[in-house]
Amino acid sequence: MLWILSPTSRSSATIAAAGLSFIASIALCVLSHAEHLRSVRPSPLINVYLLLTLLFDVVRSRTLWQDGATKTIAALFTSSTCVKILILITEAVEKRKILLVPFQHSSPEVTSGIYSRSMFWWLNTLMRTGFGRILNNNDLYPIDDEMKAVTLRENAKKAWLRAKRTRSNALMWSTLHALRGSLAWGIFPRLCLTAFRYTQPFLIARTIKFVDSSEDNENIGWGLTAAYGFVFIGLAIANGSYYHMTYRSITSLRGSLVTMIYAKTVDLSITALDESVALTLMSTDTETICNGFENVHELWAVPLEVGLAMWLLYRQLGLVFLAPAVTAICKPFHLQLRRPIEV
């Protein structure tokens, strides 16, 4: 209402932004209540939303005080920003102490919020214990329900029964279908990792321009410093989250394959059973498959990064970028042809 009643600050953009902010606040109340009742961990969606919008709200508060907006609007917006900070702190608090009895003994990874999981703070207790004495089985955290052998076996079994077993690589496709959720969790951090990597050339170019110019405001330098800090912190968090999700999916893959092989081995006749073959499948072959899955997200991420790199070269060099691009593509094949044949 203040934005509408202020003739100096009123515009179609400010009114729309205020209306969307009001609708978002109502949706936030509903979502916070639902997450409190139905989730054992702090809501990652709410925390990410509050953190990202808070960064812009702080800048907007400073702008409102400096650019001559009415003091009432500036004061009210600043107050709402302070309230958002309190909400962010409250939403980040873990709910482990108030969980119902069936969920109180869950792994700290399950009940930790997005900040604890991004920084791996949930491992601090285990690491302190291991630093003080030798760990035993009781010191280890409970296994996540999604990672238990029973759950993995049932999901893999259902996918295998629904699969068309006459098609080529039927086991691979059924296993991928059973682990689609686990694999999907690695997509977003891998995209963030690519984004932070390719933000650095733009930052470096802007920094060089700022250093060469004598007319730029000093505040631009502070903004670039903050941008560098944000990019490098984000790069570290995205890298850690990506490999965390990747190794969770690898562990799920190993559990699915080993339990399926074990169940099949138990069902076989004792006269038809070759123990050495089953042991090889459950150890060597499974480990080889898991090692290959370590780079499964690179199948789509690397072509995306190559395309971005070529686009950046095109912006700087024009069509001349084709020369280094063709050289980089042909070099692996050239090295492969020059490799001596092993006898």
Return the amino acid letter for 126. L
Report how far apart, in Å, the C-alpha atoms of 300 and of each of 161, 185, 306 are: 29, 15, 10
Helix extents (H) in 67-186 = 71-92, 108-111, 114-119, 124-132, 149-162, 170-178, 180-184
Number of H helices, E strands in the chain: 16, 0
Distance CA 182, CA 309 (A): 29
User: Is the CB of residue 273 less than 8 Å from the CB of residue 229?
Assistant: no
Domain ranges for the chain, please list them.
1-93, 106-142, 309-343
The confidence score (pLDDT) of residue 319 equals 78
**How far apart, in Å, are the Cα atoms of 107 and each of 125, 135, 147?**
12, 17, 11
What pLDDT score does 221 carry? 84
Rg (CA), the chain: 27
pLDDT of the residue at 321: 74
Q: How far apart are CA 251 and CA 147, in angstroms?
A: 8
Q: Mean pLDDT for each consecutive 10-residue tract of the chain (343 residues)?
A: 72 81 90 89 90 87 76 83 91 86 82 88 89 87 85 88 82 87 90 91 88 79 88 92 92 88 72 58 80 88 87 80 76 56 44
pTM, 2 dp: 0.80
CA distance 119 to 129: 19
